[in-house]
Amino acid sequence: MLDKTDGVALYIQIRDTLREQIMTGVLKPGEKLPSEDDLAARFGVSRMTVRRGISDLVDMGMLYRRRGVGTIVSQFHLERDHNRLTDFFETARAEGFEPEVRLLGKEVVPAKLAIAEALGLQESEPLIRIQTLRLANGVPITLYEEYVPYKLCPMLLTEDMRNRAAWQVLEEQGFAIKFAVQRLEARLADARTAALLNIEEDAPILFKNRIIYIEDGTPVELIHCHNHGNLYSSKMTLVR
């Protein structure tokens, strides 16, 4: 029930009640909301008050309207702030999701030409490749591939990589991580990526190529991220 005495507008109380139900899974992605008339009766308010509360959630991307069907709970969306170097775990938790990382593989491989050039290596120099699947609330979000020159940090082969990224291990080993350069592009999911992200083959994904540098400008890690196209977005601040 709504509190009509505490000074908080009723539409805000409705909005926050529905938002909490979405965040806690009471209302699930793809689920249709009761009609505005039914919600108005439930909350003891006018239909216009309900509509105003719902409109805020539509603007936030938590709900969407489908003509002839009604108002539906959106799939959740993980937004990464790429104005600074952050890790998946703090981003997910800050947005109210429970992060999980599944290790898919860790091995030493020869550097292919493109990766060797990105990391300032000779072709075929040994690299440590770490592949993980990153999930939020149990839903696959990103297929994550990290490449680090073997000579820089052999201990990565024995480190537990389910709670941190390779660049954080490098930082702990005394490498002064300074900045990263990344490129985002739209791609289509290949069969393996599609299977891991639980999407259709050739579905759109957001591919991220990131190179991490230390203080003297030496590249120490290359990261390839294959992000679920419907559940992941990137935020950047542009200054003129």
Residue 240: pLDDT over 80? yes
Average pLDDT over residues 18-24: 84
Instruction: Kindly report, residue by residue over 51-109, the tens digit of the pLDDT.
Output: 999 999 888 778 888 888 889 887 767 777 667 787 788 878 877 778 899 999 999 99
At the top level of CATH, which class does the domain 81-228 belong to?
alpha beta
Q: How high does pLDDT run on average in the chain? A: 89
Nearest to 80 by CA among 22, 140, 143, 142: 142
3-class secondary-structure state, position 225? strand
Which residues, 6 or more positions from 151, have their beta carbon under 8 angstroms from its beta carbon?
125, 126
Residue 1: pLDDT over 70? no
Do residues 129 and 138 lie in contact, with contact meaning Cβ atoms separated by under 8 Å? no
Tell me how far the alpha carbon of residue 132 is from its chain's centroid.
14
84 versus 208: which is more confidently predicted? Answer: 208
Residue 50: pLDDT over 80? yes
What the block records as the tokens of 43 is: 């909350």
Q: How far apart are CA 100 and CA 75, in angstroms?
A: 18
What ranges do the domains of the chain cover? 10-77, 81-228
Q: Tokens 């009761």 map to which residue?
A: 34
Average pLDDT over residues 2-29: 84
45 versus 93: which is more confidently predicted? Answer: 45
Residue 159: pLDDT over 80? yes
Instruction: Kindly report, residue by residue over 137-155, the tens digit of the pLDDT.
Output: 888 899 999 999 999 999 9
pLDDT at position 137: 82
Q: What percent of the chain has pLDDT over 70?
A: 98
Per DSSP, 156 falls in state G
Segment holding 55, helix H or strand E = helix 47-59
Supply the pTM of this predicted model.
0.73
Q: How far apart are CA 231 and CA 138, in angstroms?
A: 13
Residue 163: pLDDT over 80? yes
At the top level of CATH, which class does the domain 10-77 belong to?
mainly alpha
By DSSP bridging, strand 99-110 and strand 78-81 are unpaired
pLDDT at position 234: 78
What the block records as the tokens of 31 is: 């689920």
Average pLDDT over residues 17-36: 86
Neighbours of 40 (CB within 10 A): 18
